[in-house]
Amino acid sequence: MHHGNHFYGHAHVLAEYCGVDPADPPRIDGYLQHGWNVVDGLGAGTPYAPGRPIFVWSERTRRRAVSMGRPLATVIGSPFLYLLSSELPEEEPQREGTIWYPFHGWEGQHVDGDHRRLIDEIVSTEDGPITFCLYWHEYQDARIRASYERAGRVICHGYRGYMRTQTDTRFLHKQLAELRAHRRVASNRLSSAIFYGVAAGCEPAVYGNPMRLAKEDLATAERIRREWPELHGAHPELAAARATAMAELGGGFLASPAELKATLGWTNADRKLVPA
């Protein structure tokens, strides 16, 4: 269906969970939510074919989708939780420092803000080594990347993909490995990365200059800070943050491999199964 189903290797992660060749995931019969958002699970501007199902992460997103005229919304949980349940560490990871995800832009909208000022606040707040994970859009900007390199380790999980090309199908695997290596996960905006980090065992934080996107819907940005206060601040209360993170990611809604295959329309997919 929509090429966004392959963003961040989501379709590949679900295929591997279902025992289907992850190198060539079957066509998903509908739209798969590819990132945390506060509307119907689809990305802004996503062209929607009426009557097609939407596979969303959480019950809260499903209710919003229905209220926005998308009655065929089904909760399946986030691909990250499927990966987390499949790739269990052999031993408790040794965690150190903070992995920091600066708010980022994309092809259609560039982020505007003072990176140097943000970095100064981060360095003065964090008490251990800092890994800055830049989105590919900022990582390819040598000027922005250099600013962060002066303050800590700088990485990028990879390219999300576009029109099913150049997708880093190991994006979530690399992200999970990094999250498990850090004690804290932080950002200047609440995002998928914060929820993933909490699910993976990190202490969360959301603070600093939130920056702005070109032509951003500022009301939505303010709404996020208003509706999820338990995840904002330099040291949120962990139990409340974890409860919210698991709810937003769809904890408790994960399907079995057989159930997920049937839901995604993969029951009769002609694909080589991954050896057990």
Query: Pseudo-torsion of CA 26, 27, 28, 30, nearest 10°?
Result: -170
Residue 11 in 3-state DSSP? helix
Residue 90 pLDDT more than 90?
no
**What pLDDT score does 160 carry?**
87
Assigned CATH class of 98-249: alpha beta
Residue 217 pLDDT more than 80?
no
**What pLDDT score does 269 carry?**
66
Residue 131 in 3-state DSSP? strand
| 243 alpha-carbon distance from chain centroid | 17
Per-domain residue ranges of the chain: 3-78+250-264, 98-249
Residue 196 pLDDT more than 60?
yes
**What pLDDT score does 109 carry?**
64
More reliable by pLDDT, 15 or 105:
15
Residue 223 pLDDT more than 60?
yes
pTM: 0.93
Give the pair of three-digit tokens for residue 100.
């920091």
Per residue in 74-89, pLDDT (tens digit) is: 999 999 999 999 998 8
DSSP per residue over 170-237, as a string?
A: THHHHHHHHHHT-SEEEESS--HHHHHHHHTTPEEEE-S---EETT--HHHHHHHHHH-GGG-BSS--
